[in-house]
Structure 1
Amino acid sequence: MTAIDFESSGQRIDVSLEDVAAMALLYGFERPGPHSDTKPAAQRANLSDFFNVYGVNAFSKFKDKFRRETLLPPEEQKAMEQQKAIDAELNRYKFPEVTDAEFKSALEQHDRMNRKWRIFKKPGGVAVRPEIFYEILGAKMQIESGDCTEEEPQWNDLGAVDYIGKAIWRGHTGWKGKSKEEAMAGFVALSKKAKHNYSDNFFV
Structure 2
Amino acid sequence: MKKELDRSKASFKLDLIETANADPMVSAADLKLLAAYVAVMAWPSCKSWLVEPLGRAMTGLSHGQFWKSRARLLGDNEEKRAYLIAVRQGGKVSTYKLINPFRDEARALVEAKLEYHREVERQRKATKRTSSSVQNLEGHESDLSLHKMEGQNDACPSKKWGPVPPENGGNTPSVIPPSKKGVREEASLGSNVVPFNHPRKAS
* Range class of TM-score, shorter chain: under 0.3
Please report the TM-score for the alignment, with normalisation by the length of structure 2: 0.24
Higher relative contact order, structure no. (Cα contacts within 8 Å, ≥ 6 residues apart) = 1
Please report the TM-score for the alignment, with normalisation by the length of structure 1: 0.24
Q: Which has the larger radius of gyration?
A: 2
